[in-house]
Amino acid sequence: MLYDNITVKDGKLFFAGMDTTLLAKKHGTPLYLMDEDRIRGNCRAYRDALKGCACPDSEAVYASKACSFAGIYKMIAEEGLCADVVSPGEIYTAKKAGFPMERAYFQGNNKTDEDIAFAIDCGVGYFVCDNFEELDVLDRIAGEKGVRQKILLRVTPGIDPHTYAEVSTGKVDSKFGVAIETGQAAEAVQKALSKKNLIFEGIHCHVGSMVFDSDVFLRASAVMLGFAAEIKKNLGAEIKILDLGGGYGVKYYPGQGEIDIPQNIKAVAKRVAELSEEYGLKTPSLRLEPGRSIVADAGITLYTVGSVKKITGYKNYVSVDGGMTDNPRYALYESKYTVLTANKADSPCDMTADLVGRCCESGDIIQPGVSFPSSIERGDAVAVLTTGAYNYSMASNYNRVPRPPIVLLRGGSDRVAVRRESLDDLLSNDIV
């Protein structure tokens, strides 16, 4: 199986040790299941790798855009991770869940004046500043509130992470950050240092997502340390924190690339320490911002089959009760997934069909060309694996389809962490 939390017993698919067909009956479908021990285990792998690495006081920052709901902030706080937040919505959810906000990093390329004021009021620890305007406004609002705000500056190191274009963000022409290559990043540091209400703590970059090449973060570190050396030489400031962003890839289907994350982290930290020594800099503390690799393999989605359409001589469709509303990733990126028939998990797969959703749009494809048992019929349960990241967080109400619940599994018991949206929830903002 793709991951060791997925097993098959008596023809039924088990996830985190629990029978998925029973969970589908109990909670209804579509249904997001999340393996809490796997989330916690993934957090610990990062924490342990960073704890023993060559850069002092290094920490993992969970990129909560991958999957954001109150319970997850509580979990990651318990596991000792910081949180990357990108909107008042994520900030508010984290705060309400009791997350220690001084451990929150506020990202984003367009923080409004209201966002900035709200984040300061909520006690966000660090702003990851993206542009010149933000430095001006943050300094002003922090001053009005009598706060000196710690910041990192987001720069673009000009690294191509060899991943798909929509998630490649570290290149010079990116909408995020200020470019080192054009000299604008140095100007931005100078500006940050001149602001009396800002405390410049270091630099940040995020090269992209789904990174499997072991040298991507090594190359990024080299560029970032070179820039840190330039800052020291020209502006007399030293960075305390080097934040290399997130991006480690995960396996969605057999045969896909893999990367040993803890080993890569150690190698990156070692390179950062060596380069710091070479440049005569104090070794900075490292931050990494994993999102996908914390939650992706901790999630699966269950659906119920509604129709099996065999268009003789053309193609077959298996339609389910969810779709692009709960998983838009194929529609957006043609992302690949592994699909299993949860109640016929050891039946031979002798039929190919597109797994499609219920939305009124032909692009509502969860996965094309899936192998199913030809006995698949209405009422069967279908599981899409590795859906823990960027599924719930990117879900929509297109066609007024309510969002599915999230059920957490741990030690053989299941608990609803996000309840299913009701029809009344859909109407809750409407004024008639």
All residues at 6 or more sequence positions from 356 whose CB lies less than 8 Å from its CB, including other chains: 317, 318, 319, 320, 323, 364, 365, 366
Based on the shown chain and the rule CB under 6 A, indicate whether residue 209 belongs to the binding site for ligand LLP.
yes
Q: Judged by CB under 6 A, which of 88, 202, 290, 357 binds ligand LLP?
A: 290
Size of the site for ligand LLP (CB under 6 A): 19
Q: Mask 293-312, x = binds ligand LLP (CB under 6 A)?
A: x-------------------
Minimum distance, C-beta of residue 62 to ligand LLP, in the bound complex (Å): 9
Helices (H) and strands (E) in the chain, counts: 12, 21
Based on the shown chain and the rule CB under 6 A, indicate whether residue 202 belongs to the binding site for ligand LLP.
no
Minimum distance, C-beta of residue 290 to ligand LLP, in the bound complex (Å): 5
Based on the shown chain and the rule CB under 6 A, indicate whether residue 291 belongs to the binding site for ligand LLP.
yes
Contact assessment for residue 288 and residue 47, using Cβ atoms and an 8 Å cutoff? no
Q: Please, what's the b/e burial string for 359-375 (b: 16 or more CB within 10 A of its CB; e: otherwise)?
A: beeeebbbbeebebbee
Query: What are 368's two structure tokens?
Result: 């094309």
Query: What are 347's two structure tokens?
Result: 């039946």
Q: Judged by CB under 6 A, which of 390, 401, 405, 417 binds ligand LLP?
A: 390
Q: Mask 320-349, x = binds ligand LLP (CB under 6 A)?
A: ---------x--------------------
Minimum distance, C-beta of residue 425 to ligand LLP, in the bound complex (Å): 24
Cα separations in angstroms, 405 against 26, 27, 364, 402, 420: 12, 8, 20, 9, 4
Region from 114-122, 216-224, 243-251, 298-306 binding ligand LLP, contact rule CB under 6 A: 243-251
Q: Mask 51-80, x = binds ligand LLP (CB under 6 A)?
A: ------------x-xx--------------
Q: Which H helix or E strand runs over 243?
A: strand 241-243
Pick 293 or 319: Cβ nearer ligand LLP: 293
All residues at 6 or more sequence positions from 163 whose CB lies less than 8 Å from its CB, including other chains: 208, 209, 210, 211, 247, 249
Distance between CA atoms of 289 and 22, rounded to whole angstroms?
Answer: 35
Using a 10 angstrom Cβ sphere, with 0-12 exposed, 13-18 middle and 19 or more buried, the burial of residue 184 is: middle
Minimum distance, C-beta of residue 384 to ligand LLP, in the bound complex (Å): 14
Based on the shown chain and the rule CB under 6 A, indicate whether residue 227 belongs to the binding site for ligand LLP.
no
Based on the shown chain and the rule CB under 6 A, indicate whether residue 404 belongs to the binding site for ligand LLP.
no
- List 308's β-bridge partners, or say none: 318
Based on the shown chain and the rule CB under 6 A, indicate whether residue 287 belongs to the binding site for ligand LLP.
no
Handedness of CA 150, 58, 92, 130 (dihedral sign): positive
Q: Judged by CB under 6 A, which of 5, 58, 87, 107 binds ligand LLP?
A: 107
Based on the shown chain and the rule CB under 6 A, indicate whether residue 108 belongs to the binding site for ligand LLP.
no
Q: Which one of the listed residues 82, 129, 359, 360 is annotated catalytic?
A: 360
Pick 107 or 285: Cβ nearer ligand LLP: 107
**Which has the closest alpha carbon to 339: 2, 27, 41?**
2
DSSP 245-273: ---B---SSTT-----HHHHHHHHHHHHH
User: Active site includes 360?
Assistant: yes
Residues that bind ligand LLP (CB under 6 A): 63, 65-66, 84, 107, 167, 206, 209, 245-248, 289-293, 329, 390
Residues labelled as active-site residues: 360
